[in-house]
Structure 1
Amino acid sequence: MASDVRSFIDLRDFAASAEVPAAGDYRTARTALPLADGPCSVDLLALDGGAGSDSGLPGDEFVIVLAGSLQLGEITLAADACAVIPRGVAFDWQAAPGTRALAMRYVIDTPAADRIVPIDEGAELTLQPAAGGTAGRADAVVPQPYRLSVERRGVHLRHLGFDALSPYRDALSPS
């Protein structure tokens, strides 16, 4: 754990400056962003032309491809494209040489979906009421067709029109 955890982190700067393993597979070719202990993690994946299979991740994982391309099952992500790999979903993967991606994982018992879900960056955003809250709150914005539960899932991020909820929303939001 880092001794100085900041509330906002430039993930592209982290990706540009992080040391990456020389080789590895989807689970091991990673460099972790130092964060406080908890169910959320952020890793830089450095998949240099590799391929393999994974029997299922321990949590929902939001993947943003920064460079190269990454095939997850039947979904191919080019640079700046993103998808969610739900907990426990087995998948094959293949990466182009020089592929770099950010992977944000939230360890959770119940997966958000039963298959890999590409994020439609052009989808209309809709407001969904937060658990115990009211429709229209800014912390309840999620894209369609992928709808996250508003119950402490994900890390807050804003990428190409995608907002995920902070697991700390209840602690930070007014009652």
Structure 2
Amino acid sequence: MIVAVGTKNPNKIRAVEDAYRLFGIPARVVPAPRPLTTPPQPVGLEAVLKGAVERAKAALQAVEKAEHGVGIEAGVVEAGRVHLDITIAAIVDVGGRTTIGFGPAFQIPPPFLSQVLSGVEMGAVAEQYFKRPSIGYREGLIGVLTKRRVTRYHLNLAAVAMALTPRLPHNSQLYLKP
């Protein structure tokens, strides 16, 4: 199966490859450009979800013979009185079916919050703060905060695995529309 993923980020591409492999689904993962309409830093659950779905749909359209399009979007959500960085994955197939999965979320450091809420990408804020280039393409902010015990790859992998769960053959009856 050809799986198009709406990103050039190696963390996301590897996470998609590994999530499909985890469930024994043979997949050739092909990167595709992310749509220009997605903001660099979505804020709010609906914006993060919309970004993931738009990436998935655009990837599916961009890659010839793709059967699935995968979009992974990280963004900011408010829970109680804290703001969290959450990763959402969407998988869209050629029949139009969309499945969604969330990865773990972590609390955004307060010194980053005002910039991130104003639309500055979390990776850019982290790079500036820690004086390290390309954090988002490497371990991600979570990787820096946890000393690489948990990385951006892990968050992406979990989100894609959760989005694949309704598509697993043994779950097909559970997720059919009545």
- The answer to which structure, 1 or 2, has the higher relative contact order (CA under 8 A, 6+ apart) is 2
Structure number with the higher helix fraction is 2
> TM-score, structure 2 length as denominator?
0.27
> TM-score, structure 1 length as denominator?
0.27
Structure number with the higher strand fraction is 1
